[in-house]
Structure 1
Amino acid sequence: MQVDLPIEELEKFHYQEPEPADFDEFWQSTIAAETARPLDVAFTPVVTELQTIDVFDVEFTGYGGARIKGWLLLPARRSGRVPAVVEFLGYGGGRGLPVESLAYASAGFAHAILDTRGQGSTWRAGHTPDPVGSTPAIPGHMTRGLLSRDDYYYRRLYVDAYRFVDVVRSSAEVDTDRLVASGRSQGGALSLVVAGLRSDVTMIVPHVPFLCAFRRALRMTAESPYGEVSRWLAIHRDQAPAAFATLAYFDGVSFARRATCPAAFSVGLRDVVSPPSTVFAAHNAYGGPKEMVVWEFNGHESGGPEDVLRTIRAVRGLP
């Protein structure tokens, strides 16, 4: 079932929407204001039934001074600093329980998992609220504060993701020269964000990244989460220009253009959640060395466990 352009056209596809002229200024000022706050990181050991993995509850100060949760999972048998996988989660998911995230620590890496503020009630539990209110919004997170770049939900989440890299780098257990950011869907987009805003991420492995090429995505799919924006615009008929003006500051394609570290993407050609052309838009614009793994017969699940194995191999292959 073809849901988008043929692969030959996807490989050459470039998203043509212009960026805001002050895109860099907006994010530089946002990051400067938020990094002026102390991180106040707390790593608290947690007793679990796991015998091969040490678990630490993580808490730090994110956007606006909110306290954000996470996990740090470490191989119990380790010698010195270990490479780290910083994982950002897909839409609606939270950090869950440590037993749900065993692969990377079992492979010998530090595994840091950011708990997504205000989510964590769709496919895995979370423990971090989003204490900020919102203008009228469709249920979900895509339209919360949509008419203002300053108030938009993803401004808060992008800063949390940026700060979480600082949290991981502050751990005495982590080899900061081998720090890989990864995630699926929303998590893939967050890995693009941190690669575009930072120069100290060694590599990213974004699987079927969401939040890329917004106008293209809304033309290609009515599936949620993009469908939240479509339904909001169907009610707020005269607000489309203002909404797209906000979304332009949060497009993963723009962050991809600014990234320089190596990246290993994946895409599912039958994906109706993150349409293939939107994933290729980020890949084709990416500023650093890059590769794309194409799963011809898969949708938003893309490579599934194969993507996890690809991430493990990528970390092991770092110099």
Structure 2
Amino acid sequence: MPRIDLTLPELREYRPEIREPADFDAFWADTIAGARAAGGELQVERVDSPLRTVDVFDVTFPGFAGDPIKAWLLLPAGAEGPLPAVVEFNGYGGGRGLPSEHLAWASAGYAHLFMDTRGQGSGWGAGGGTPDPHGTGPSSPGFMTRGIEHPADYYYRRVFTDAVRAVDAVRTLAQVDAARVAVCGGSQGGGITLAAAALSDGLVAAMPDVPFLCHFERAVGFTDRFPYQEVVQYLAVHRGAEERVLDTLSYFDGANFAKRATAPALFSVALMDETCPPSTVFAAYNHYAGPSDISVYRYNDHEGGQAHQWLAQAEFLAATAP
């Protein structure tokens, strides 16, 4: 597969103008305040498990509009804390799966909260358990165009709010040091990470891995891969909706969140990535407001660095927030 994007020197200088609504900050302040005001119950139940090196807890926390959101909490076996914590977000179409799929961070000594993504969990993996009870207008198959005609209705308004509330929830746990919380995720999870990093105060680190949901105006139509292609399909049918759709997406663009995120960050990018083109990742990286670094995988597609990137993240986090 050939490289399809700018050269690496060009990517490192790529800092495009990003469409940004004038009320971006007010929109998100009102959204998060509304979710917090909605309340809801945090439930943490220990789960019997064959795992011996970690303790497993089934978590339900209040997300957007107080909706119950599922998560797994894994702790090093017998740990009393307070522990540094990592909140992780998943890739597109996947659910929280099974606890045995999420052992690395707890094995490294962290409290690890892995958030289910509302409405997803039936595309791959071992499934999810969180519905999305909010309806939308016309959309193409998938999640990218649900409610895309208005930012208040857009699907990712709910998901990004869930992510902030996941950080809120983990900070209340007795086993967690609330002052040492990091966020991470790959692909869709990387885009969610950027939103959480901008909308949550006091994080010690953000680790967006090959992030999706960045620089929409370049990504939509630049790559013919899904999920961005869902937006192309929608616009091919809803002729004349382009400006309205792009205005909505600007409230959810990872580059706009990057401008507001200040926690130390470690990004990653794959130069042969046709799902999240490298220029869209660098658009967010080059706009990032806090100290940041990026791992570059020259010969990889969207899989990026995989376990190699996790090792880089573990070293980064240990040095950033010991």
| Structure 2 length-normalised TM | 0.97
SS in 2 for 1:283: helix
* AA aligned opposite 1:293: S
**Equivalent residue in structure 1 for 2:281, among 276, 279, 282:** 279
- Which residues of 2 match residues 20-35 of structure 1 at below 5 A? 20-35=21-36
Q: Which residue of 1 aligns with 2:131?
A: 129
Write out per-residue CA displacement over residues 194-236 of structure 1, whole angstroms, 9 at most, x where no aligned residue: 1111222110011011000001101320100000001111111
How far does residue 18 in structure 1 lie from its aligned partner after superposition? 2.8
Distance in 2 of aligned mates of 1:197 and 1:258: 8
Distance in 2 of aligned mates of 1:174 and 1:39: 20
How far does residue 144 in structure 1 lie from its aligned partner after superposition? 0.3
* AA aligned opposite 1:130: D
How far does residue 295 in structure 1 lie from its aligned partner after superposition? 0.2
Does the 8 Å CA contact 1:141/1:153 hold for their aligned counterparts?
Answer: yes
Gaps of 5+ in 1: none
Does the 8 Å CA contact 1:83/1:315 hold for their aligned counterparts?
Answer: no
Q: Which residue of 2 aligns with 1:175?
A: 177
**Equivalent residue in structure 2 for 1:219, among 218, 221, 238:** 221
SS in 2 for 1:60: strand
Write out per-residue CA displacement over residues 277-315 of structure 1, whole angstroms, 9 at most, x where no aligned residue: 000000000000000110000011110111111222222
Q: Root-mean-square deviation (CA), in Å?
A: 1.0
Q: Which residue of 2 aligns with 1:88?
A: 89
Distance in 2 of aligned mates of 1:64 and 1:178: 26
**Equivalent residue in structure 2 for 1:249, among 248, 251, 268:** 251
Distance in 1 of aligned mates of 2:148 and 2:19: 19
Q: Which residue of 1 aligns with 2:13?
A: 12
- Which residues of 2 match residues 290-301 of structure 1 at below 5 A? 290-301=292-303
Distance in 2 of aligned mates of 1:54 and 1:14: 44
Distance in 2 of aligned mates of 1:80 and 1:19: 41
| Structure 1 length-normalised TM | 0.98
* AA aligned opposite 2:158: R
* AA aligned opposite 2:51: L
* AA aligned opposite 2:294: M
How far does residue 82 in structure 1 lie from its aligned partner after superposition? 1.4
Report whether the alignment pairs 1:102 with 2:110: no
Does the 8 Å CA contact 2:44/2:60 hold for their aligned counterparts?
Answer: yes
* AA aligned opposite 1:210: F
**Equivalent residue in structure 2 for 1:303, among 305, 311, 316:** 305
Task: Work out the number of aligned pairs and report it.
Answer: 319
How far does residue 237 in structure 1 lie from its aligned partner after superposition? 1.0
Q: Which residue of 2 aligns with 1:231?
A: 233
* AA aligned opposite 1:194: A
Gaps of 5+ in 2: none
Q: Which residue of 2 aligns with 1:71?
A: 72
Does the 8 Å CA contact 2:40/2:66 hold for their aligned counterparts?
Answer: no
* AA aligned opposite 1:253: A
Does the 8 Å CA contact 2:194/2:261 hold for their aligned counterparts?
Answer: yes
